[in-house]
Amino acid sequence: MRIGIVRSLADSASGGVFQYEIVFLRALSEIAAHYPEEFVYLCYHTGDLATLASSGDLAYRGIPVDTVLSPPAQQTPETYLAQKPATPPPFDPRNVKFNDAGADALRQRGVDLLLALSPSLPTFSFRMPYVMPIFDLNHRLQPEFPEVSAFGEMNSREYLYINGCRFATLVLVDSEEGKADVLRFYGDLIDADRIRILPYYPPIKNRPFPSEQDLDRVRAKYGLPNRYFFYPAQFWPHKNHALIIQAIKLIADESGEAVPVILTGAYWTYIMATNFKEIMGLAAKLGVDDRVRYLGHVPDEDMAALYTMSAGLVMPTFFGPTNIPPIESWHFGRPTITSDIRGVRDQTGDASLLVDPRSPQALAEAMKRLWRDEAFCSELVERGKKRLAAYSWSSFRENVASILTDACERVRTGRTPRYVGASSDTGMARSRGASV
């Protein structure tokens, strides 16, 4: 059986989606040599090869493929503010537009099963068996955030997830909470038998700890203060940067302490650029802009040093169920503050300080504790190390192989959802079982 691998066109500036895909590809590359089925990477854009090469994840007959290309430079916020998207007319998300030409091309290449590394592609449009991940369903859980609802995003996500669940051979989620969400919102289209849990694995395999030379280089490159909190996150509103600004203002008002924070990440959409402007405007309004440093997109080779030199990770996000930065922070031996929300609470346990993402005072108290209490920081780091031990690369890789073996067996035995009719006829049998 031939498994076709497809991914989004995200580059390294895209953050978590790109890291998820790269980790998945690394696991597949290690599995491929001994796996009974054949893998083929389906590149549907020439720029994709350069993107993968720049991350060190391409090789030709064992020879690494490198590239001197970099992600496109980020423009000023005003550039993206001038690109306010239009809201497309609503459509029925259950009316599938099948891609028969694409399906013919895949079958001509002998593809029997598609493995999507992100839910960005309507894999169901090819009318063939597929495995796809669902990262979260926050468009249903927290639609007040524009990045999951505005400008037609709600309708688009419903199209992907309704039909993704309806036709998938298997759906991948990150946790028990993620599985419960799929069943809660789409349980009329999919049952637990077609959902598999694949916890996120952070991009830490073979990621060296920084040397003293690395620390000195990164400190000089960015002109870093001696101590700071660190938040690597794209500028989506749900990332909740504003709470950090409010917290360091409270700390300054209560104790006179100037607590710097280093921000990395990108803003490449109208919503993100708007949020970025508001965050920086808030810092200026509250008089703490001198302690808020934005570094932009940072290359992977600098991230280890930025983590290591920090007083800790501060991540007051509104979204889960789970997140990658806390695991990275544990890996680099740093204490962590994150949100006391469903999913994240179970992911981090007592290895993080958990705060209400709506309370500046709660975040300020947590930041002060890490800033002042070295003994507690050391204790939190030890808890993080214990928590990190549960993340095994070999287990992740074996889990991936097991999921694919299950999917292939379902294809061979016909235990996959059936596609019925043409693009204007997407009716399906009522059963939610193996023969849908």
Distance between terminal CA atoms of the chain?
22
Minimal CA–CA distance to 133: which of 170, 81, 172? 172
- Percentage of residues in the chain having pLDDT higher than 90: 75
CA-CA-CA-CA torsion sign (165, 170, 171, 173)? positive
Do residues 110 and 242 both lie within one domain? no
Q: In this structure, what CATH number is given to the domain that contains residue 173?
A: 3.40.50
For position 46, what pLDDT does the model report?
66
With 0-12 / 13-18 / 19 or more C-beta atoms within 10 angstroms meaning exposed / middle / buried, residue 24 is buried
Report whether pLDDT(73) > 90: no
Q: In this structure, what CATH number is given to the domain that contains residue 250?
A: 3.40.50.2000
For 184-240, the pLDDT digits (tens) are 999 999 999 999 999 988 777 667 789 999 999 999 999 999 999 999 999 999 999
Do residues 81 and 218 both lie within one domain? no
For 41-63, the pLDDT digits (tens) are 887 666 677 677 766 667 766 67
For position 145, what pLDDT does the model report?
97
For position 60, what pLDDT does the model report?
65
Mean pLDDT of 121-147: 96
Mean pLDDT of 244-264: 96
Number of domains, the chain: 2
Mean pLDDT of 123-129: 95
For position 361, what pLDDT does the model report?
98
For position 422, what pLDDT does the model report?
41
| CA–CA separation, 363 and 379 (whole Å) | 19
275 and 316 Cβ atoms separated by less than 8 Å = no
| CA–CA separation, 21 and 90 (whole Å) | 30
For 316-356, the pLDDT digits (tens) are 999 999 898 999 999 999 999 999 999 999 999 999 999 99
For position 52, what pLDDT does the model report?
74
For position 379, what pLDDT does the model report?
96
Q: Measured at the alpha carbon of residue 42, what is the angle toward residues 36 and 47, in degrees to the nearest 5?
A: 140
Domain span at residue 401 reads 2-201+393-412
Which pair of structure tokens corresponds to residue 82?
Answer: 């001038």
Question: Of 221-225, 228-232, 297-301, 358-362, where does mean pLDDT reach its minimum?
Answer: 297-301
The overall average pLDDT reported for the chain is 90
| CA–CA separation, 31 and 405 (whole Å) | 12
Do residues 146 and 216 both lie within one domain? no
Do residues 171 and 319 both lie within one domain? no
DSSP character for 74?
Answer: P
Mean pLDDT of 163-168: 97
Do residues 369 and 291 both lie within one domain? yes
| Cis peptide leading into residue 321 (ω within 30°) | yes
Do residues 171 and 216 both lie within one domain? no
Question: Of 57-66, 105-114, 218-227, 250-259, where does mean pLDDT reach its minimum?
Answer: 57-66
Q: For the whole model, what pTM was predicted?
A: 0.89
HSE-up of 427 (CA within 13 Å, CB side)?
3
Q: Helices in 256-320 by DSSP H: which ranges?
A: 270-285, 300-308
For 386-421, the pLDDT digits (tens) are 999 888 899 999 999 999 999 999 999 999 999 975
346 and 367 Cβ atoms separated by less than 8 Å = no
Asked if the structure places residue 122 within a domain, the reply is yes
- Percentage of residues in the chain having pLDDT higher than 70: 89
Do residues 167 and 258 both lie within one domain? no
Do residues 143 and 67 both lie within one domain? yes
